[in-house]
Structure 1
Amino acid sequence: MPGDKSVSHRALLFGAMAEGTTRITGLLAAEDVGRTRTAIQQLGGEVWVDRSGGVNVKGGPWRDGGTIDCGNSGTTARLLLGALAGRAGATLIGDASLSRRPMRRVLDPLARMGARIGGAGDERDAARVTLPVSVDRAALRGIEWRAEVASAQVKSAILLAGLAAEGETAYLEPVATRDHTERMLRGMGASIRVEPVEDGEGRRIVVSASQLQAAEITVPGDISSAAFWFVAAAIHPGARVTIEGVGVNPTRTGVLDVLRRMGAGVIVVERGGIEPIADVTVVGAELRGTAIGGAEIPTLIDELPALAVAAAFAQGETVVQDAAELRVKESDRIAAVVAGLRAIGVDADARPDGFVVRGGGAVGGHVITEGDHRIAMAFSIAGLRVPVVVSETESIRTSYPGFLERLAQLSTG
């Protein structure tokens, strides 16, 4: 299983911010992570692979990075905006898809901290601010920021800026989101604490100025990539898939909870670790529809396309709500999922913040992926049950380069 994409991005970036040499094992070798690797090299970081395959990152003072192409990687862009604000200057650009994705939710709090932002950031009264964006090094001050929308990327950007700011920086999230940043920063010596929020299900994360120290980092297998194989097993009654070494951070395991509710067998044998790792087995069954929403959404936001395919082969209705964030991913994933389901014969409707799937009726068809890797992989898995042709597979390289080869093995095995 490829290394976790979220953890891989952070390991590279935090290693470049740290004093000393950080060694990473299990780093994901995919286009998105490659964008972060190239970015830190432009900013003065050194990256090399040792004889045993470990990726080493030597940190140090950052230099201005010129123009940094983030490609299709929203994680690269948003985390870099926070890391750059108090350290160096650069102009961030992206491909056509990334250049449509909103950046205002990151730029507004950074501006409050004193960040010097140019380019699209000059029009911050606009409803949407997008790349390209320029950032120049500035003296930052800590703030308290209450987020309206739960986003681990926005949270991470603000916390990274807080490491270079005067005073404390506090981020209040409405519901708990994936906490890879908090875990890794703590492990690398940052001054960070996490507190419950009295008036809700969220958390208050507080950081203060800190110099990160190099560390040994093991990247677990990516549960977002594993989810496609879990669904492949789940939609075939009696089938069984076991994936070893999967990351089971509790802020990421919503997909397993949903598959359990739908009737699949799920067995988790934990191995421990700062980033929890486990061997996970999913056993297929006659699935039933379920409701997905509320605080569960941040724990499975990237897995919803795969779960939509599970819903397509389930009995009854599956309702997804509170997931408006899907509208601003690599594609409008609500529209793309519903269009894909209808294309293969499944009754589905879009809602402003989610979708409804009425299981059964799948006969196969041609699915337009909108250039979105998770749409392409989700409907390729549907193709294990009914004939499906996806419009392209190039996008899959951004997160899971070996997916098609593994799919071919599964199809003929």
Structure 2
Amino acid sequence: MSSPNITIQNNSEQAQNLVLDSSSEITLQGKITVPGDKSISHRALMLGAIATGTTTIEGLLLGEDPRSTASCFRAMGATISELNTDKIIIQGIGLGNLQEPEDVLNAGNSGTTMRLMLGLLASHSDRLFVVTGDHSLRSRPMSRVVNPLQQMGATIWGRKGDSLAPLAVRGQQLKPIHYHSPIASAQVKSCILLAALMTEGRTTVTEPALSRDHSERMLKAFGAELDIDPETNSVTITGQGQLQGQAVIVPGDISSAAFWLVAAAIVPGSELVIANVGINPTRTGILEALEMMEADITKENERVVAGEPVADLRVRHSKLKACTIGGSLIPRLIDEIPILAVAAAFAEGTTIIRDAAELRVKESDRLAVMASQLTKMGAKVTELPDGLEITGGNVLTGTDVDSYSDHRIAMSLAIAALKATGKTTIYRAEAASISYPDFVTTLQKVVHEQ
């Protein structure tokens, strides 16, 4: 049954406002699941498309971003069933067999789709590909993947010195490299590894800190030859092997679970169980940060599913304390910083987040947007060049705020609104469907009036 406190206003065919009225006391209760992990969903679709044989995917995120990936690979010859069922079936076309598409490939809002796909396209000889995206994606930097691909011999043209989409790719035989990435980025690492699948010899990527390792785990499962050196944060792949279709089970996305972890932690009397959440060590920075803030979170029923560690997470309300977050922890919680900022607004003391300049080139400038929108609600937030300084304890007041069409901003502001007094209206809240189509439905399900 829908909560009377949470309603959707339809502005037009696409645009929606989310209205939360916190004039009555609420609590969050229940057991929920979250959508499939977005990172793993993208990779399962891509590897299934280029492998030999059949790949099945259970638990795939049925959001806009994976739909963009599926659409692009269908246009290049892969057979992918409709993304509307519990089990997706892919008939792969085999490594090296992506077809030259008849039209431009559109990655929509998905940076992962564009950046990872560029590695595959660049290595498909004698084929021309043109890749674009929506307004947001066309403004996001692609030089971080274009530069190493060009070092491998790729031919890529684009706006602003080949750094912005639309990008044209003339596929050709690439050469192996040892790339020292200036940033810890799973997208950069994955793009190079995918390009190296068709490259003779061994290609190595070394990072300054460990980024999420879903690509390495899945490439190994599909049959690629990889060597991983955890001491140097390096991964080496031997090219020109074969990939074989697999049965993939996608765990729940910890980035989506993070909204509920913070919601239950800040709303008195709350207790939630989030079932079947992926707890890959390269992704659990949010759990460590909330533990530093003295959140009451326990892992239950820990297990390994299809090569990925999984657990049920139980979270209860607690009095949060401020902490300092930065360094090597940042790549492991980069997507969770907006909701972490919300937690900090209700924590005792001043929380400092540093080394997170990467957030300025996400779907929005997440540092600037979270600072401005939380400040509108009455939080004490100072924007830093590479982070935020947030002093908790202020009472937040409902007001009109804007998601800037960024899914993580929309959901973070919705959680903040649960603890604000009065009515909050979040503009362009439909953005949540990018990674969490059922977010509002789940919110209505777990919020109860006391």
TM-score range, shorter chain: over 0.9
| Equivalence for 1:98 | 137
Distance (whole Å) between structure 2 residues aligned to residue 411 and residue 242 of structure 1 = 14
- Which one-letter code corresponds to 1:17 in the other structure? I
Distance (whole Å) between structure 2 residues aligned to residue 50 and residue 115 of structure 1 = 32
Distance (whole Å) between structure 2 residues aligned to residue 42 and residue 371 of structure 1 = 27
Distance (whole Å) between structure 1 residues aligned to residue 414 and residue 251 of structure 2 = 24
Aligned residue among 66, 73, 80 for 2:117: 80
- Which one-letter code corresponds to 1:32 in the other structure? D
Deviation (angstroms), 1:166: 1.7
| Equivalence for 1:192 | 226
SS at the partner of 1:36? helix
Distance (whole Å) between structure 1 residues aligned to residue 325 and residue 290 of structure 2 = 11
**1:70 maps onto 2:107 in alignment:** yes
CA contact (8 A) 1:94 1:131 kept: yes
* Aligned pairs (5 A) from 1:267-286: 267-269=298-300, 270-273=302-305, 274-286=307-319
Distance (whole Å) between structure 1 residues aligned to residue 128 and residue 98 of structure 2 = 9
Distance (whole Å) between structure 1 residues aligned to residue 146 and residue 82 of structure 2 = 34
- Which one-letter code corresponds to 1:351 in the other structure? L
| Equivalence for 2:238 | 208
SS at the partner of 1:95? coil
Deviation (angstroms), 1:100: 0.6
| Equivalence for 2:14 | none
Deviation (angstroms), 1:197: 4.2
| Equivalence for 1:177 | 211
Deviation (angstroms), 1:59: 1.1
CA contact (8 A) 1:50 1:56 kept: no
Deviation (angstroms), 1:36: 0.2
CA contact (8 A) 2:42 2:113 kept: yes
Deviation (angstroms), 1:14: 0.6
| Equivalence for 1:400 | 436
Aligned residue among 177, 191, 209 for 1:143: 177
Q: Quick one: structure 1 residues 291 and 409, their matched pair in 2 at CA, closer, same or farther if it must change by over 3 Å?
A: same
Distance (whole Å) between structure 1 residues aligned to residue 336 and residue 204 of structure 2 = 29
CA contact (8 A) 1:116 1:137 kept: yes
**1:363 maps onto 2:397 in alignment:** yes
* Aligned pairs (5 A) from 1:366-385: 366-385=400-419
Deviation (angstroms), 1:409: 2.1
Distance (whole Å) between structure 1 residues aligned to residue 134 and residue 85 of structure 2 = 34
CA contact (8 A) 1:319 1:356 kept: yes
SS at the partner of 2:447? helix
Distance (whole Å) between structure 1 residues aligned to residue 375 and residue 400 of structure 2 = 10
Please give the per-residue CA displacement for 1:208-236, whole angstroms capped at 9, x wherever unaligned.
11221111100000111111011100102
| Equivalence for 1:240 | 271
Distance (whole Å) between structure 1 residues aligned to residue 424 and residue 187 of structure 2 = 33
Distance (whole Å) between structure 1 residues aligned to residue 334 and residue 369 of structure 2 = 15
**1:37 maps onto 2:37 in alignment:** no
Equivalent residue pairs, number: 404
- Which one-letter code corresponds to 1:338 in the other structure? A
* Aligned pairs (5 A) from 1:345-364: 345-361=378-394, 362-364=396-398
Deviation (angstroms), 1:205: 0.6
Deviation (angstroms), 1:102: 0.2
- Which one-letter code corresponds to 2:234 in the other structure? R
SS at the partner of 2:43? helix
CA contact (8 A) 2:36 2:59 kept: yes
CA contact (8 A) 1:86 1:165 kept: yes
| Equivalence for 1:6 | 39
Q: Quick one: structure 1 residues 268 and 211, their matched pair in 2 at CA, closer, same or farther if it must change by over 3 Å?
A: same
- Which one-letter code corresponds to 2:148 in the other structure? P
Distance (whole Å) between structure 2 residues aligned to residue 162 and residue 74 of structure 1 = 20
Please give the per-residue CA displacement for 1:156-180, whole angstroms capped at 9, x wherever unaligned.
0000001111211110011000000
Aligned residue among 307, 331, 336 for 2:340: 307
- Which one-letter code corresponds to 2:324 in the other structure? A
- Which one-letter code corresponds to 1:72 in the other structure? N
TM-score by length of 1: 0.95
CA contact (8 A) 2:277 2:310 kept: yes
| Equivalence for 2:284 | 253
Deviation (angstroms), 1:271: 1.7
- Which one-letter code corresponds to 1:207 in the other structure? I
**1:337 maps onto 2:370 in alignment:** yes
* Aligned pairs (5 A) from 1:107-186: 107-120=146-159, 123-124=161-162, 129-186=163-220
CA contact (8 A) 2:371 2:383 kept: yes
Distance (whole Å) between structure 1 residues aligned to residue 401 and residue 139 of structure 2 = 22
Deviation (angstroms), 1:89: 3.2
Q: Quick one: structure 1 residues 322 and 56, their matched pair in 2 at CA, closer, same or farther if it must change by over 3 Å?
A: same
Please give the per-residue CA displacement for 1:243-292, whole angstroms capped at 9, x wherever unaligned.
11001101001111111111111111212231111111111111111111
TM-score by length of 2: 0.87
| Structure with greater strand share of residues | 2
Distance (whole Å) between structure 2 residues aligned to residue 33 and residue 72 of structure 1 = 10
